[in-house]
């Protein structure tokens, strides 16, 4: 065998070993990508009449914006953001509903923005954070508006907390396991994805199978408004259809033509959201 062939064989052998090593690391890489979203920060100042504050979650500190409603008190509205987002995306929501008599709150979810927490668990621990936040509200109805991850958290929290009166959930996934398998890279085998989920469970101390807005929906008897963009290719509209079908209480589904992921809450649908909340929460609460 000449020297050129020997070098080629050695090179191919080393390359095979390197590829095998990388391949063996894929489940761990996948678990980290799931648990540790890109962390952006709320660079903007809070809207007028709303203050920056810190709220106590379930073992984590949550960076928040909070404001007192104008006029007659109707309840408290909480805006819950999506993955890799922050409370800043809820600025317009807080302004609008504060004028309508709601105390308003938006906070960075755990492992997001300026809040504490190492891992995102897609509602498993986040619903407990929300419960701690609700503990600080004055008595009255609680309305949740959640986008993507926030919608999933809202549905799961409402299934366990009877203080929550209304839920608006936009582009929620129906179950974490389903959406992870759908979004996994094409080079991730079924075995690799399953192992990544197992590692994620172990690291973040939660149960993937219990993270299911669809299961939570079946336990709800309160009014729920579900929205989804028909052109959403990240989280397919089928997820919201499954959630809507599982709901037992007053339920409405709005599919928005041409809207991609996190685009269903747009000016035209906001008017529908406000009208829906007014219909389901028409009576002002005395201060």
Residue 287 covered by a domain = no
Same domain, 30 and 81: no
DSSP secondary structure, 152-216, as one string: HHHHHHHTT-TTEEEEEEES--S-HHHHHHHHS-TTS-HHHHHHHHHHHHHHHT--GGG--HHHH
Same domain, 6 and 82: no
Same domain, 26 and 61: no
Residue 110 covered by a domain = yes
Do you know the residue count of the chain? Answer: 287
We report the CATH number of the domain holding residue 102 as 3.40.50.1820
Residue 241 covered by a domain = yes
Determine the 3-state secondary structure of 229 from DSSP: strand
Q: How far apart are CA 49 and CA 157, in angstroms?
A: 28
Q: β-pairing, 61-67 with 50-56?
A: antiparallel
Q: How far apart are CA 285 and CA 87, in angstroms?
A: 26
pLDDT in tens, 92-107: 999 999 999 999 999 9
Residue 122 covered by a domain = yes
Residue 285 covered by a domain = no
Name residue 75's beta-bridge partners. 102
Same domain, 215 and 256: yes
Same domain, 182 and 171: no
Same domain, 137 and 240: yes
Alpha-helix runs per DSSP H in 67-187: 91-99, 126-134, 149-158, 176-183
The domain total for the chain is 2
∠ at Cα 193 (191, 196), nearest 5°? 110
Q: β-pairing, 61-67 with 102-107?
A: antiparallel
Measured between alpha carbons, how far is residue 85 from residues 82, 114, 124, 229 in Å? Answer: 5, 11, 18, 18
**What distance separates the 2 farthest-apart alpha carbons in the chain?**
92
Which residue has 């197992």 as its token pair? 198
Which residues make Cβ contacts (< 8 Å) with residue 189, sequence separation at least 6? none
Residue 104 covered by a domain = yes
Q: How far apart are CA 235 and CA 110, in angstroms?
A: 21
Q: From 167, 184, 210, give the residue that closes a domain.
A: 210
Same domain, 126 and 204: no
Which residues make Cβ contacts (< 8 Å) with residue 218, sequence separation at least 6? 246, 247, 248
Same domain, 65 and 167: yes
| Structural domain containing residue 206 | 1-35+176-210
Same domain, 75 and 165: yes
Q: From 166, 192, 210, give the residue that closes a domain.
A: 210
Residue 272 covered by a domain = yes
From 121, 151, 153, select the one nearest 36 (Cα to Cα): 121
Q: How far apart are CA 149 and CA 170, in angstroms?
A: 9
pLDDT value for 187: 86
Same domain, 148 and 255: yes
Same domain, 3 and 88: no
Q: How far apart are CA 122 and CA 120, in angstroms?
A: 6
How far does CA 212 lie from the centroid of its chain? Answer: 12
Torsion sign, CA atoms 152, 158, 164, 166: positive
Q: From 186, 210, 234, give the residue that closes a domain.
A: 210
pLDDT in tens, 269-279: 999 999 999 99
Residue numbers in the chain where pLDDT is lower than 70? 1-24, 283-287
Residue 275 covered by a domain = yes
Same domain, 10 and 62: no
């Amino acid at each position: 065998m000449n020297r050129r062939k020997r070098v080629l064989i050695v090179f191919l052998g080393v390359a095979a070993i390197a590829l095998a090593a990388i391949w063996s690391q894929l489940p761990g890489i996948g678990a980290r990508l799931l648990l540790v979203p890109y962390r952006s920060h709320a660079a903007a100042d809070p809207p007028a009449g709303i203050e920056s504050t810190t709220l106590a979650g379930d073992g984590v500190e949550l960076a928040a914006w909070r404001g007192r409603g104008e006029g007659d008190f109707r309840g408290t509205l909480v805006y819950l953001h999506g993955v890799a987002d922050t409370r800043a995306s809820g600025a317009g929501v807080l302004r609008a509903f504060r004028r309508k008599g709601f105390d308003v709150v938006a906070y960075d979810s755990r492992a997001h923005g300026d809040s504490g927490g190492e891992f995102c668990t897609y509602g498993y621990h986040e619903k407990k954070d929300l419960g701690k936040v609700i503990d600080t509200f004055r008595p009255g109805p609680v309305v949740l508006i959640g986008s993507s991850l926030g919608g999933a958290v809202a549905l799961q929290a409402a299934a366990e907390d009877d203080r929550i009166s209304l839920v608006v959930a936009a582009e929620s996934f129906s179950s974490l396991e389903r959406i992870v398998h759908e979004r996994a890279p094409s080079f991730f085998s079924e075995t690799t994805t399953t192992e990544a989920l197992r590692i994620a469970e172990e690291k973040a101390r939660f149960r993937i199978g219990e993270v299911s807005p669809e299961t939570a929906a079946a336990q709800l008897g309160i009014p729920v408004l579900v929205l989804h963009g028909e052109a959403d290719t990240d989280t397919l509209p089928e997820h919201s259809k499954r959630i809507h079908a599982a709901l037992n209480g007053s339920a409405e589904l709005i599919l928005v033509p041409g809207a991609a992921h996190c685009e269903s809450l747009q000016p035209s649908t906001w008017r529908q959201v406000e009208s829906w909340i007014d219909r389901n929460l028409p009576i002002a609460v005395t201060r």
